[in-house]
Structure 1
Amino acid sequence: MSRPRVVIAGLGDSGVLTAMRLARHADVVGISGKPGLVSGQELGVRLARPDDWARDYWISFDRFRALDRVRTEHATLTGADLAGRKVFGHLVDGSAMVEDFDALVIATGVSNGFWRRPGYRSPDEVAAQLRADHERVAAARSVLVVGGGAAAVSSAANLALAWPGTRVELCFPGSRPLPQHHPRVWGRIARRLDRLGVVLRAGHRAVVPDGFACDRITSGPVEWSTGQPASSADAVLWAIGRVRPNTDWLPAELLDDDGFVTVTPQLKVVGQQGVYAIGDVAATDPLRSSARNRADKLLARNVIADFAGRPLRDYRAPTRRWGSVLGVQPDGLEVFAPNGSAFRFPAWSVDRVLQPWIVRRGIYRGVRPPGS
């Protein structure tokens, strides 16, 4: 009996991990506009230390041993015929692509600011963007970070650490940043920001100009709808959480009012057979938390169980965000649990234990050295 054919639409963090798990049970095709895993994680480290970030968060697909049995297509998606079990796209050379499937996993993620944008990227374009963003903030004598989520907080902390002489301000709309984390998390992070000299501006909600997609670093003044005088800086980082799901290629009936893919508790797309969604694009819960809670294991199990006619399991979402906020710091990596408690990997263990054994060997099942 032939193996089922599964198409993974999108090879970000969730798509790559799902493809790895399914490759043992099915013929898997992964489609991505990027030349490898270009993670949306750790924005602050990406800006301040792009070489360190690229080492751990930009990995070409051919380096993943667990993707050896996965055919990857560098292409942009343009449409889907779910009844006909096909997806459509354009390859790098502009030619049309058609992929048949027995099961489809939608993992196309979201666009969010200047660091998570859809569409085709070559390796040179990824490298050039990393360098340009780094050089833009490195040249600034003042940086204004707008937003209250983890990306904004991480950016403020890492930029202040990298360039102590730069004035860094963090402006956020509520009484505290990180509102989706346990309050204890902000307590710890706030003390670190204070030591780094980051200026905190609570209750500042930015006026976003019409048509502005927050997809670039700006330098113009920022107006506040909350009544404060306008603020200016050499570099303004917009990290306001204005995410846009990458779902333009999908039929409208699959989407909720905000454009995210509607799913059942089993991560199946509502009203469809053999179609699933995972990650930031899937409307699993208010936090869309399947992207950060290793739901790839459950989804892969459900896809295989569905083929065999076995019962599926439900995804149970946490009520708070968890994980790293600032990324690797000189004293190590601090990871927060949903209840706000913290665990620190000492600095020596990050390169000797965490990355080589827990991440590359344990999570990704083997990553080859660059150029091998």
Structure 2
Amino acid sequence: MVTNTRPRVLVVGMGDTGVLTAIRLGPHADVVGISTKAEFVSGQELGLRLARPEAWMRDYRVGFDRFRGLDDVRIVHGTASSLDPESRRVRVTLADGTTASEEYDVLVIATGVTNGFWREPSLQTSEGVSDALARAHARLSDAAKVVVIGGGAAAMSSAAQVAECWPDKQVHLYFPGERGLPQHAPRTWNRVARRLTGLGVALHPGHRAVLPADGTNDLSAGPVRWQTGQPPTEADVVLWAIGQVQPNTGWLPDHLLDDRGFVLVEPTLAVSGQDHIFAVGDIAAVDALRTSARNQGHKLVGRNVRAHVAGRSLGTYRTPGRRWGSVLGPLRDGLVVFAPNGRGFRFPAWSIDALLQRFVVRRGIYGGVRRD
């Protein structure tokens, strides 16, 4: 239990989940956020980011000063380099190369995972983010044949968005199973497959790729070779969206991590053996799919941090049965959001910014976002 009336809460990682957590805690604590990026850069909607970066930036790249809920949150642009749970200090390497020490009463770990070039932990300025967006878009724009490898939502959205943006390109989607989206309801895949085919995407089930020696964290060129025996596939650009995530936990003591490097947590999202430390999002080993990143985990952490400070009992996280939400992202004719049972609810294109983003996302989820 923390005796201060305004506890000091340190949120390490200011991506999607970290920002939401800091906003929840801002009215109740003195919050400090550690961010490797100079602004909020979402890991969502990879396909839109690649095909239409100007549309993606409107909703998924936002200055921290535009979030009303972060007005009282101090943002530190730097990288966490070490944690001392005993003294309750996090060592931070700042953007200018100097180091600082941040004390806390309660720590929230939300550093996420590395997953390709679109979710990586390096320090970036605003100019660096702009350059990375432009390079990826230009590489795809110049390609005649694009191969996307992966069976999850990131691969599906990338194939759909590229095919819609550049209908003259050859776009091929390869995945290892008989169907894509294995964590979604079958009905979801059936509808997504029809839409992909309608956009001109060629679907290739039963293909498991041989991973390149230089890794899969960037756009590359063919040929792609297959473990499953098919002949090699040539391509101008290969996008690897195979879910080879790496936890951003190099700054944490080993005893806080599982054998894959993710943070060990209790059902309350408190770190095992550390009642004053919480973890949420893709970094937290709450279940095999680390679903607290997408299922209101930030709300539970917000409540439980306050309960810990007040000495009350903590709530527990409930794991969803299937993945749900948008798969293909906002296409030019609208957005389809899938329920856990696979049923899709379509938002027409005109409503995405005027209603969904403006009222549901910016005002409802983020508590208000100022105009750029």
Same-fold call, TM > 0.5? yes
Specify the alignment match of 2:29 in structure 1. 26
SS state at 2:159 partner: helix
Given candidates 37, 49, 57, the residue that maps to 1:46 is 49
* Letter aligned with residue 310 of structure 2: A
Report how far residue 217 of structure 1 moved.
0.5
Specify the alignment match of 2:320 in structure 1. 318
Quick check: 1:113–1:213 contact (8 Å CA) kept in 2? Answer: no
Cα separation, 2, equivalents of 1:201 and 1:360: 38
Given candidates 5, 24, 27, the residue that maps to 2:8 is 5
Specify the alignment match of 1:259 in structure 2. 261
SS state at 1:283 partner: coil
Given candidates 203, 208, 211, the residue that maps to 1:208 is 211
Report how far residue 199 of structure 1 moved.
0.7
Given candidates 268, 271, 281, the residue that maps to 1:269 is 271
Question: Is residue 2:366 matched to residue 1:364?
Answer: yes
Specify the alignment match of 2:349 in structure 1. 347
Specify the alignment match of 1:247 in structure 2. 249
Given candidates 223, 226, 243, the residue that maps to 1:224 is 226
SS state at 1:72 partner: strand
Cα separation, 2, equivalents of 1:277 and 1:341: 31
Specify the alignment match of 1:288 in structure 2. 290
Specify the alignment match of 1:61 in structure 2. 64
Report how far residue 220 of structure 1 moved.
2.8
Specify the alignment match of 2:137 in structure 1. 134
Question: Is residue 2:72 matched to residue 1:78?
Answer: no
Specify the alignment match of 2:127 in structure 1. 124
Given candidates 304, 307, 328, the residue that maps to 1:305 is 307
Cα separation, 2, equivalents of 1:220 and 1:334: 32
Cα separation, 2, equivalents of 1:136 and 1:319: 38
Cα separation, 2, equivalents of 1:307 and 1:3: 9
Cα separation, 2, equivalents of 1:97 and 1:205: 45
* Letter aligned with residue 186 of structure 2: P
Cα separation, 1, equivalents of 2:215 and 2:272: 30
1:186-237 CA-to-partner distances (Å, cap 9, x unmatched) read: 1001111111111111111011134x33111001311100000011100000
* Letter aligned with residue 55 of structure 1: R
Specify the alignment match of 1:89 in structure 2. 92
RMSD: 0.9
Specify the alignment match of 2:160 in structure 1. 157
| Structure 2 unaligned regions, length at least 5 | none
* Letter aligned with residue 226 of structure 1: T
| Structure 1 unaligned regions, length at least 5 | none
TM-score (norm 2): 0.98
Quick check: 1:25–1:304 contact (8 Å CA) kept in 2? Answer: yes
Cα separation, 1, equivalents of 2:48 and 2:242: 18
Cα separation, 1, equivalents of 2:238 and 2:333: 28
Report how far residue 2 of structure 1 moved.
4.3
Report how far residue 273 of structure 1 moved.
2.2
* Letter aligned with residue 335 of structure 2: L
Cα separation, 2, equivalents of 1:86 and 1:319: 37
Cα separation, 1, equivalents of 2:215 and 2:237: 16
* Letter aligned with residue 269 of structure 2: L
SS state at 2:320 partner: coil
* Letter aligned with residue 85 of structure 1: R
Report how far residue 97 of structure 1 moved.
1.3
* Letter aligned with residue 144 of structure 2: R
Quick check: 1:282–1:288 contact (8 Å CA) kept in 2? Answer: yes
Alignment size in residue pairs:
369
Report how far residue 348 of structure 1 moved.
1.4
* Letter aligned with residue 61 of structure 2: W
Cα separation, 2, equivalents of 1:183 and 1:230: 29
Given candidates 137, 147, 150, the residue that maps to 1:147 is 150
Identity %: 59
Q: How does 1:163-174 map to 2 (within 5 A)?
A: 163-174=166-177
